[in-house]
Amino acid sequence: MIVADAAALPFPSASFDLVAAFMSLQDVDDLHGSVTEASRVLEPGGRLCLAIVHPLNSAGEFEDLEADSRFVISGSYMEPSFYEDELARDGLRIVFTSAHRPLADYASALFGAGFVIDRLREPTEPLQDDAPDRRKRWHRVPLFLHIRAVKLPQSSKR
């Protein structure tokens, strides 16, 4: 296993045809540096596949657990900010600190690093009739965002 800063990867340039960033880019301090490093280690035509907490999700919250609960953004969707999620299980408590960034910030990082977006998805799971209301809410507001981006040849980089 290799542990490294996402903005300073210990790999040669153009050494991969695929980079996956699964549920991590919303947690990095240096989004642009991390995406630029992904581009550096990718060969031209290589793909960056990423999954993040959907920026709409990180900007607001549901008022309660009911299926028809209102989704409220009390601050600004457009301004980056930080938020915390606390999980506790079996006597262990973990606090995750993540960054809310509007979708334009992710697109800017991708385009600035020489990528074009060729696929964007806001996935939902099949909804069972007996699903709890708290899960039904997420069929009205996106929970996650998946993006596939392709690294352009250097001559096409804008």
At residue 133, the pLDDT reads 81
* Residue 156 pLDDT greater than 90, yes or no: no
Which whole number is the average pLDDT over 136-146? 90
At residue 157, the pLDDT reads 45
Take residue 95 and report the two structure tokens written for it.
């606090």
At residue 87, the pLDDT reads 92
pTM of the model: 0.89
Query: What residues form DSSP beta bridges with 116?
Result: 150
Query: What residue ranges define each of the domains in the chain, with the CATH number in brackets?
Result: 16-156 (3.40.50.150)
Residues 40-61: tens digit of each pLDDT: 999 999 999 999 999 999 999 9
3-state secondary structure of 151: strand
Take residue 62 and report the two structure tokens written for it.
């549901």
Burial class (CB in 10 A: 0-12, 13-18, 19+), 12: exposed
* Residue 155 pLDDT greater than 80, yes or no: no
Residues 114-128: tens digit of each pLDDT: 999 999 999 987 777
* Residue 90 pLDDT greater than 70, yes or no: yes
Which whole number is the average pLDDT over 59-68? 92
**Using CA atoms, how far apart are residues 58 and 142, in angstroms rounded to an integer?**
10
